[in-house]
Amino acid sequence: MGKKLPISVFIITKNEERRIVPTIKAVKNWVDEVIVVDSGSEDNTVKIAKKLGCKVFYNKWKGYGAQKIFGEKKCKNNWILNIDSDEVVMEELQNEIMNLFEKGTQDKFFGYRIRITNVLPNEKKPHKLAYSFNQTRLYNKTKCGFRDSEVHDTVIVEGVKEYSKEERKVIGQLKGRVAHYFMESYTQLINKWNRYSQMQAEDAVAKGKKGCFVKILFFPAFAFIKAFIIRRYFVYGLNGFIFSSFYAFSRYMKYVKIWELSIELKKNK
């Protein structure tokens, strides 16, 4: 490997010893630095990260946005690649980014969207028909950065609406993908969605939203159709059906919790 690119990678973690090794190894040999921001791991996450040459910082958890803003500030380079501890940069994306910087054309845009492709258990790499979500993950921190939101971790350009025509002028699109090994088991996924739906509900109620009978009754069914049909989880057969069912239930949990919290809030007034 030749000269490393002037890119800082940062990763937020907590108890990720089982997944973080391939995440770090996929980037550490071609970027200038890898930053790990840990919120209090009780396993070997920190020890592993240090052994692999990462710079590790502790930051108490205050929400996704706040944690990633902290990570941005610890990066010495203007260009940042943000990945999560359950994500692995694929070789195609690595080559694309390296080519971008070797040609010196990275500054054509403020940042670049990257496709994040989910990988279900027992899959070594993303299915060729797998659904991907698209996020700005490679960006110049002097031009854009993460917004301060407890639930949503999104890179924004100040004053520019996300996914707008104006944004497309300053945010480019890369073809390569990141493999997202987002679940170890359905037990782990249910526990994760339970925590996340609670944060979503608290955020919604804080913004004045109330429980809605229609959403509780119908939205889980729409969520199943969205996952199984629109996002093509049917390509995974039974595994995709099970995942889509649990995804629908996670939406159900969210709207029930919004309803429950809004009632509690009303009682306490």
Q: What angle do CA 165, 167, 169 make, to 5 degrees?
A: 80
Supply the CATH classification number for the domain 5-180. 3.90.550.10
Lowest mean pLDDT among 176-180, 228-232, 235-239: 235-239
Prediction pTM value? 0.85
**How remote is the C-alpha of 48 from its chain's centroid?**
21
Q: Tell me what pLDDT residue 151 has.
A: 67
pLDDT band at 162 (very low <50, low <70, confident <90, very high): confident
The domains of the chain are located at 5-180, 186-268
The mean pLDDT value of the chain amounts to 93
**Sequence-ordered alpha helix ranges (H) in 40-129:** 45-51, 64-74, 91-102
Evaluate if residue 153 carries a pLDDT over 90: no
Q: What stretch of H or E contains 11?
A: strand 5-13
- Percentage of the chain with pLDDT > 70? 98
